[in-house]
Structure 1
Amino acid sequence: MKRILVTGGAGFLGSHLIDRLVEHGHEVVCLDNLQTGNEENIKHLEERITFVKHDITNSFPDLGDFDEIYNLACPASPIHYQANPVHTFKTSILGALNVLELARQTGAKIFQASTSEVYGDPLVHPQPEDYWGNVNPIGIRSCYDEGKRGAETLFSDYARMYNVEIKIVRIFNTYGPRMDPKDGRVVSNFIMQSLQNKSLTVYGDGKQSRSFCYVDDLIEGFIRMMATPKEIQGPINLGNPNEFTMLELAKKVIRFTGNESPLQFNELPQDDPKQRQPVIDEASHILNWHPKVSLDIGLQKTIAYFVNRVEC
């Protein structure tokens, strides 16, 4: 049994990760400031984990030693991270410094949940890990994009300077139960709009593409990455390489909800990537990891979760 800290543990991904860690018999401390996390996501585990309400931009209270740390703390949807961009940037940078110091002091192995947003609006398609990206450093998404890029830098430098054992993964679009219905991401938007018999909001011409990974597949990648030897640091892409346009996604959601929702086309937001698709050769070779859940199956599971969360 290991003692493991999960920052951002009450969030969408964090709560699913904690499910897996508890299932494996580990002692888990869940740390979250509840800015975008929700205690309901971990309520079923309240007797089996320790919850600490804390913002990682501040110095950590005395939490004891850990064997492993998963750093998932940061707003991840544009609506949330743009609501307070300065705090978002501080969460990525100051938060990274704080968790890295904790890892250095306790000898813990530490995992950084980075993002495909480090590639920006890519000029290379699909995106391999050695692509350095095309990021606007002063745009409305920069607080998140550049914050996560900076965090990768800090993790890499702590490994070089202090011999901290690091693991970095870059997460591509992920969906599933426990997503915030109001987070503004395309999967949750389409599902909620369709269930409410509203028009589905499509930005631009709908031909921009994404690759959608079901949450259970992603968490399996997390677990496998943390278990790799020390010399494996990453970054490693984790995502489903099957690519779909927004129009294709909209049609699938309409089919699975059974509601003939019309499409409403709006202007494409600033710096919104036109294409996003991971190269997962590294994950395949190093982690023996491949996504297993198809978009059709994953959408049906996600829709079943959202049915009870529709505001009429």
Structure 2
Amino acid sequence: MGTSGLVIVTGGAGFIGSHLVERLLAEGHRVAVVDDLSTGTLDNLRSVRNDPRLTVETATVSGSRRLAGWMRHARGVFHLAAAVGVELVVRSPIHVCRANLRETEVVLELASRRRVPVLLTSTSEVYGRSARPEFAEEDDLLIGPPTHPRWTYACSKLMDEFLAMAYAQERGLPVVVTRVFNTVGPRQTGRYGMVLPRFIDAARRGVPLRVYGTGRQRRCFCWVLDTVEALVRLFRCPEAYGQVFNVGSTEETTILGLARLVIRLLGSSSKIERVPYAEAYGPGFEDMQRRRPRVTKLARYTGFRPRTPLKEIILRTAGAVPDAGAAEHGTGPRGRARPKDE
């Protein structure tokens, strides 16, 4: 991926996508964004909106009139466009299935015609009901039944992964799959169920922080610029193509512990309110009790693993401390670590 090449980012007006676009522009790339703004917003790109090297088309991937032309000149594609968020998944499962499967197929087909490298973002949700203490890329996956809409997103993204690997094997497409665990930071919205922005907003307003279920479910939260750093490094690593990588933090907390920490760090007077899953998402909702990634493979191939502490993540996300992440990663090492044997 040369420093003057065109890079396509689907979902580039979204939370992670907009941070990635800023990173690519800072490195000297021309960037083409396709985003239908269903969960993203052009406000996320306001810091770079007037950069002449940035082009934005407001469209779905499958409805884009410019994607095929861009693909003829592209050095690579970061495919981040997806229907995301627990509330969206539960309320609109048809949209989730269609959006995730159809758009990914379009990207892979167009890219395969010219062997344009693709980085596909998947999700930790594909690990399903697994009760392992941490998840590794080679683990078996345990998905719940189709009668529970909770698993719609996981299955659609898992099919994306299978489709990507099929294009790699059958068409020789250079593609790497990243299973992104909980990523947080500025520009993330709580509108679709994301927990940290919900908690920060409630703490600022002094209203109760609503914790779903027992609150004992454990999660790891990764700083968005750490996620972007991992994606960029994997994209630049030829040895990573044809493989799957976890991307996320390994620092665990319970959701109840997260709520308490947000209240303490922001000096809020808010209380904590426990809400049954059935009340929040309807009957039959299932949740994973633990979601901790093993990131040794990511470190082995790229020399990088996310390490930003949770306390710092919360303060940066809330704007309580300056964001030093861009300076840390924007000029970081760009070399590739040679992989060891699996």
TM-score higher than 0.5 here?
A: yes
Aligned to 1:191: 200
Alignment of 1:1-312 (within 5 A): 1-48=4-51, 49-58=54-63, 60-61=65-66, 62-64=68-70, 65=72, 66-138=74-146, 139-230=148-239, 232-268=241-277, 270-304=285-319
Q: TM-score, normalised by structure 1?
A: 0.94
Stretches of 4+ aligned residues off by more than 4 angstroms: none
For 1:25 and 1:137, locate their aligned partners in 2 and report how far apart those are by CA, in whole Å: 46
The aligned amino acid for 2:304 is W
For 1:294 and 1:116, locate their aligned partners in 2 and report how far apart those are by CA, in whole Å: 20
The aligned amino acid for 1:263 is I
Q: Deviations over 1:258-304 (max 9, x none)?
A: 11211111113512111110011101111111113111011001112
Kindly indicate whether the alpha-carbon contact (under 8 Å) linking 1:3 and 1:26 is maintained by their aligned counterparts in 2: yes
For 2:211 and 2:60, locate their aligned partners in 1 and report how far apart those are by CA, in whole Å: 34
Identity of aligned residues (%): 30
CA RMSD in angstroms, aligned pairs only = 1.6
For 1:25 and 1:230, locate their aligned partners in 2 and report how far apart those are by CA, in whole Å: 24
Query: How far did residue 60 of structure 1 move?
Result: 5.0
Kindly indicate whether the alpha-carbon contact (under 8 Å) linking 1:172 and 1:239 is maintained by their aligned counterparts in 2: yes
Q: Deviations over 1:215-250 (max 9, x none)?
A: 011100000000011563321000001110112111
Question: Kindly tell me: are residues 67 and 13 of structure 1, through their superposed partners in 2, closer, same or farther at Cα, counting changes over 3 Å?
Answer: same
For 1:105 and 1:141, locate their aligned partners in 2 and report how far apart those are by CA, in whole Å: 35
The aligned amino acid for 1:144 is Y
Kindly indicate whether the alpha-carbon contact (under 8 Å) linking 2:126 and 2:158 is maintained by their aligned counterparts in 1: yes
The aligned amino acid for 2:167 is Y
Kindly indicate whether the alpha-carbon contact (under 8 Å) linking 2:57 and 2:64 is maintained by their aligned counterparts in 1: no
Q: TM-score, normalised by structure 2?
A: 0.86
Kindly indicate whether the alpha-carbon contact (under 8 Å) linking 1:67 and 1:107 is maintained by their aligned counterparts in 2: no
Number of matched pairs: 306
Gaps of 5+ in 2: 321-342
Moved more, 265-274 or 79-88: 79-88
For 1:244 and 1:221, locate their aligned partners in 2 and report how far apart those are by CA, in whole Å: 22
Gaps of 5+ in 1: 306-312
Kindly indicate whether the alpha-carbon contact (under 8 Å) linking 2:128 and 2:151 is maintained by their aligned counterparts in 1: no
Query: How far did residue 57 of structure 1 move?
Result: 3.7
Moved more, 55-64 or 161-170: 55-64
